[in-house]
Copies of this chain bind each other. A is one copy, B any other.
């Protein structure tokens, strides 16, 4: 990973073999980024994405072997127990240009991945929602 900082914006390049979620998280840990969002494009090999079923409050997962284009990638940065937490969704396109997508668990960069990340001055916390088990944005007074 290489990056360039312009005010509150990071321009980030991930190279072949780097994992998107893990790498963005490690940058946030290093620079103490506890709130923000990011977008990206590029190409990945193996990826794992999920779909949430509100009936069972559980994710189902699939692995895609790639090679895939990152057709879209958007995520936000928050904190859980004071540590950076990445929540991102992705759309991936295959050789036939068909697109599959969902909640991004993990994806390994093949050629390159280019990300624009905007950091906030403040941290945004998450707190476990009792009903669904999901880590929900803590935006109410006293919630984070």
The residues of A with any CB-CB pair to B shorter than 8 Å are: 2-4, 6, 9, 11-13, 16, 35, 37, 39-41, 43, 45, 49-55, 60, 62, 67, 69-76, 87-91, 93-95, 97-103, 110-112, 114, 116, 120-122, 124, 129, 132, 134, 136-137, 139-140
Contacts and interface: CB of A to CB of B under 8 A. Distances in A.
Contacts of A111: 52, 54, 132, 134
Chain A contact residues: over half helix, strand or loop, or mixed? Answer: strand
28 contacts: A3-B139, A6-B120, A11-B35, A11-B120, A11-B137, A11-B139, A13-B136, A16-B54, A37-B116, A39-B74, A41-B74, A41-B76, A41-B88, A41-B89, A50-B69, A51-B67, A51-B94, A53-B67, A54-B67, A54-B110, A62-B97, A69-B102, A71-B90, A72-B89, A76-B116, A91-B93, A91-B101, A97-B100
